[in-house]
Structure 1
Amino acid sequence: MSADFWAGYISGAVGILTGNPLDLIKVRLQARDALSSQTATSYVRQFESKSALVTGTAAPVLGYGALNALLFVSYNRSETAINAALNVPSNLWTTWFAGAIGGQATWVVSTPTELIKCRAQLSSPPASSWSIAKQVFKTEGIRGLYFGGAVTALRDSVGYGFYFWSYELTSKWVESSRQNSSTFSQDAAKVLLCGGLAGVVSWVSIFPLDVIKTRVQAQTFDATTTPLLGSSASPPQKRMGAVEVARNAYREGGARVFFRGLTVCSVRAFIVNAVQWAVYEWIMLELGQGRHKRVEPI
């Protein structure tokens, strides 16, 4: 396996373990108004037991490790191919498109991983990722694991385009604002800062899509009203698609509903992606594959 595969895999798993508690809150806020008052106490109550801290992590640790590995390998290869085909140096345009291609390539892993994670985090009583996966496969087959795949693919493509674009852009800004010589602590601080900002930018760019994705995937196969959606309306006859879910969400709370949980998500995104990029860059450096490319401005 290539260096970027292992660096991506390990950094993805570390990132999930780091940010799962805040991700749990984010998903519950997106799916229903579980934290109406949004006080400090109401946030703490989301972790009714120690196991709540790792609720739904089994699928993401396995899935996102593979997803992150596929993402970085696809991104690196795509950028090299695009630059060679266009005969241009690396720039922020090609970085965005390579990131979008890398995000699209993760669809095969991200869709079932996201579906299992969301349902595990929203289940009451709590259910393991493995039990959720078995239930979905038993009742719906392999197609059930890819429910909501279209909106997930769109979210990943756009989001990862901005993810790599913002990382390279902020890296360029930091490099231009400091002296030529740099220390290990300065390099580490740069990676942490740029990685954290990249995570925030990418999530802000696709958060409404993520809200829709969460609500789509929270629907169960029997299409009855469930605690996952927290709705008191009469049961629908079939599961809704992304467009219908978006319309219902807008009728429920206007445009604000598409940004519910964004604050929590942004805090989580900064922490997780700062750690994730630091681990990735460190492993790549240890394997003799440090990133030293020059990125031209748009």
Structure 2
Amino acid sequence: MNNDYWCDFVAGWIGGCAGLVAGHPLDTIKVRQQTMGNISAAKGILNTFKFEGVRGFYKGMGFPLLSTGTLNALFFGVYGNTVRILSEGRDRPSFTDIFLAGCAGGVAQLVVACPVDLIKIKMQMQTGSSEGIWGKHFESHYRGPTSCLLDLYRKGGIRACYTGLNSMAIRDIPSFGMYMILYEGFIRTLCGSEQSASPSSLVFCGGMAGVISWAMIIPLDVVKSRIQGDNPSNPQYKNARDCFVKSYKAEGLKVFTRGFCMMSLRAFPTNGAIFLGYVSSLNLLKRISGEQKESETVVVAA
């Protein structure tokens, strides 16, 4: 493994923070649509702004902002190093290498992603005085992410903090593999290689990869969001299968496309920002690392 293996982890941290800031407001509306009733995207935006102001769009962002660096550092760090190991001795990795490395990164990030997503959703579902308009009421009201995490742990231990892990694994592991294949496919088609890609190309390729990969898993995302948004004191769903069946019986197939518009609008800027931040900082870090190595070599030679 190269001595600059750490660059992928640091660049992933930077890219993840950039993506979170770009996409969190639309993610809040997506989650509320999926978990709190049959509300259109436009009405969701208006209700949030009317009753909660601009701050309402950033509900639940505190905890992800602290942890998203770790989450993306794990994903891109494991992905980048795995793809180099799998493709060692070849000019460029195959799409099989990229898919397997993406799946490996998807597994690694679950350790952080599951509790982060769970707490984010709990916070996003707190709508204050507008609960009646959204059509759903929950007993628990948390002062902040830490309060939410402690309450979950107090009531159900570590297991409660990983509610929805199975459905999240089913959603994330193969989708991260496809995500990286799509990104690499766009890059090779439009730019030839990542090294020759312009910033706008990185945003476009990353954004399109995000939109398409999310579109493929939106039904799984609905199930995951509903399980994580369920009331722990009086749960409505036993597991992912039970959630799927009950959701279908109550609202038909259309329920599994809920939040699609918000997801699409959010996915492009979020993933475009992630790849722009990741690739730009990765190139910079590797250049710095290379300069340091050259400097060390000169000193030794002297």
Give per-residue Cα distances to partners, 1:175-227, cap 9 Å, x unaligned: 25x9xx96xxx611110110100111221121111111001111222125xxx
Alignment of 1:41-190 (within 5 A): 41-47=43-49, 48-84=52-88, 89-125=92-128, 127=142, 128-175=144-191, 187-190=198-201
Q: Aligned partners of 2:44, 2:229: CA distance in 1, in Å?
A: 22
Residue 28 of structure 1: aligned partner? 32
Q: Which runs of 5+ in 1 are unaligned?
A: 225-235, 291-298
| Identical positions, percent | 32
One-letter amino acid of the counterpart of residue 13, structure 1: C
One-letter amino acid of the counterpart of residue 170, structure 1: F
Q: Aligned partners of 1:57, 1:199: CA distance in 2, in Å?
A: 20
Alignment of 1:2-21 (within 5 A): 2-21=6-25
Cα distance, 1:19 vs structure 2: 0.9
Give the direction of change, closer, same or farther, for the CA distance of 1:202–1:12 in structure 2 (3 Å limit).
same
Q: Aligned partners of 2:267, 2:176: CA distance in 1, in Å?
A: 13
Are the counterparts in 1 of residues 99 and 181 from structure 2 also a CA contact under 8 Å? yes
Alignment coverage as a number of residue pairs: 268
Q: Aligned partners of 2:209, 2:260: CA distance in 1, in Å?
A: 15
Q: Aligned partners of 1:41, 1:110: CA distance in 2, in Å?
A: 29
Q: Which runs of 5+ in 2 are unaligned?
A: 129-140, 289-302
Q: Computing the radius of gyration over CA atoms, which structure comes out larger, 1 or 2?
A: 2
Alignment of 1:189-268 (within 5 A): 189-223=200-234, 239-268=237-266
Cα distance, 1:114 vs structure 2: 0.7
Q: Aligned partners of 2:42, 2:36: CA distance in 1, in Å?
A: 18
Q: Aligned partners of 1:196, 1:164: CA distance in 2, in Å?
A: 12
Q: Aligned partners of 1:39, 1:56: CA distance in 2, in Å?
A: 19
Give per-residue Cα distances to partners, 1:26-74, cap 9 Å, x unaligned: 0011113251xx2635422223223213210012112221110000011
One-letter amino acid of the counterpart of residue 54, structure 1: Y
Cα distance, 1:92 vs structure 2: 1.4
One-letter amino acid of the counterpart of residue 190, structure 1: S
Q: TM-score, normalised by structure 2?
A: 0.82
Are the counterparts in 2 of residues 158 and 206 from structure 1 also a CA contact under 8 Å? no
Are the counterparts in 2 of residues 195 and 276 from structure 1 also a CA contact under 8 Å? yes
- CA RMSD, aligned part only? 2.3
Q: Aligned partners of 2:118, 2:287: CA distance in 1, in Å?
A: 34
Are the counterparts in 2 of residues 162 and 205 from structure 1 also a CA contact under 8 Å? no
One-letter amino acid of the counterpart of residue 46, structure 1: T
Cα distance, 1:18 vs structure 2: 1.4
Give per-residue Cα distances to partners, 1:115-155, cap 9 Å, x unaligned: 10111101243642222111111111111101111111121
Are the counterparts in 1 of residues 29 and 41 from structure 2 also a CA contact under 8 Å? no
